Amino acid sequence: SHADWVRPGIMLYGASPLAGKLGPELGLRPAMRLQAPLLAVRELRKGEGIGYGRAWQAPRDMTVGIVAAGYGDGYPRHAPSGTPLGLRGREVALIGRVSMDMLAIDLSGIERPRPGEPVELWGETVPVDRVAAASGTIGYELLCAVAGRTRHREATTGFSAPDT
C-alpha cells in the first residue's frame, strides 16, 4: 500500500498476492471452493492407460477415480499430472490430461473411495495458489475462469444460483 489507500485484490478471495506464499500462510481463508463429484472408481494395472489416446500409463497397479469436472468448468487444461486436489481433507494427485468434462485422480491410499464423494479442485485442502503454480499460472486466472455452467452455492445461507 501507498499513503492512505489499500488495494486488497486477490486477498478478498483468500489467495496470496505474494509470490512464494500461500494464502493460509498469510492468515487468509479461501472465499471459494471448487468441487465436483467422484463419478467412478477403477483399478488400473501397471501399464494400462487412461485419458485421450490412453496417453497416461499407470506406473504401478493403482486405484484411480474419474471426477466430473474439466477445462469446460474452468479447471486448467494444462494442469500436469501431480497437480494436487483434495478428497476427505487429504491431498490426491491429478493423473493424465484434463478433459473438457472429466479428470482423473490417483486414489492410492484412500480407503474405499465411493462415487458421489466430493472432490475439491481447490479450496480449504488445496489452496488455489498451489493449483495455479502447478499449472504455470496465477490464482487470479483460475478464479476468473470458473465457467457459468458450474453450480454456485453460498455456503453460509445455502443460496443456490439457478441452473442455466
Whole-structure pTM value: 0.86
- The mean pLDDT of 40-52, rounded to a whole number, is 94
Domain-by-domain residue ranges, the chain? Answer: 35-145
Task: Name the residues annotated as catalytic.
Answer: 52
What burial class does residue 36 get, using C-beta atoms within 10 Å of its C-beta: 0-12 exposed, 13-18 middle, 19+ buried? Answer: buried
- The answer, yes or no, to whether residue 162 has pLDDT greater than 70, is no
Three cell numbers, residue 14: 483468500
Say which residues have a Cβ less than 8 Å from residue 32's Cβ, sequence separation at least 6: 13, 14, 122, 123, 128, 143, 146
- The answer, yes or no, to whether residue 137 has pLDDT greater than 70, is yes
Looking at domain 35-145, which CATH architecture does it have? Answer: Beta Barrel (2.40)
pLDDT digits (tens, 9 = 90+) for 71-119: 999 999 999 999 999 999 999 999 999 999 999 999 998 999 999 999 9
